[in-house]
Chain A
């Protein structure tokens, strides 16, 4: 089983709140990713990182931001949550080389009222 953790697992908040979704991995992986996925639908890459102090935006336009100050930690922040942000957020990591397999965390299911 992969050692990648996400907290909280479930979050219900009101519109306008600032939230941070946590993601940590203990595998020493350089690459980390955030995906947004509506139930039963495709994955959309919203942010990724190649290593410490590296962050890039993915294909899906997002109002969130990320940081990568430590290898093992890749938090995602929403400055002002809206109902359109209601979704599941999946964090993943992989080794740097050769598009190795991605290991996914259990996800955070976010509901914005």
Chain B
């Protein structure tokens, strides 16, 4: 079946270092969404990408959707303690299809 692979599973960074997580789909996606889940919390929507090659920024977060609409990335510049949590991508083949979730990448700030 359709899968969305997300890597890495964990990333340990020093505060101030950058963080990147990648998602790859086995099939072309209609759109991809990104969510953040704080420890002990629930997923919260960050952004949706729809267009091929789209790049969107939210302050220190940069989201990209690949030209073939099969891959996406989230890059955080100069991480802060408030960025700690698990970042999930979720792709869809269209409005009649359910979201396919990646396994998430956990961002951990080294003490």
Tell me if chain B binds chain A.
Answer: yes
Q: Which residues of A contact B (CB under 8 A)?
A: 40-43, 45, 48, 58-59, 90, 92, 97-99, 101-107
The number of A-B residue pairs with CB atoms under 8 Å apart is 51
Judged by DSSP, the binding face of B is loop
Closest to A45 in B: B98
A107 partner, pick from B1, B31, B42, B86, beta carbons under 8 A: B42
Residues from chain A with a CB closer than 8 A to the CB of B31 are: 98-99
Give the interface size bracket for B toward A: 20 to 34
Residues from chain B with a CB closer than 8 A to the CB of A97 are: 95
Instruction: Tell me the residues in window 35-66 of chain B with beta carbons closer than 8 Å to chain A beta carbons.
Output: 35, 41-45, 48
Q: Which residues of B contact A (CB under 8 A)?
A: 1, 30-31, 33, 35, 41-45, 48, 86, 88, 92, 94-95, 97-99, 101-104, 106
Assess A102 versus B99: contact at CB under 8 Å? Given A40-B106, A41-B104.
yes
Residues from chain B with a CB closer than 8 A to the CB of A90 are: 42-43
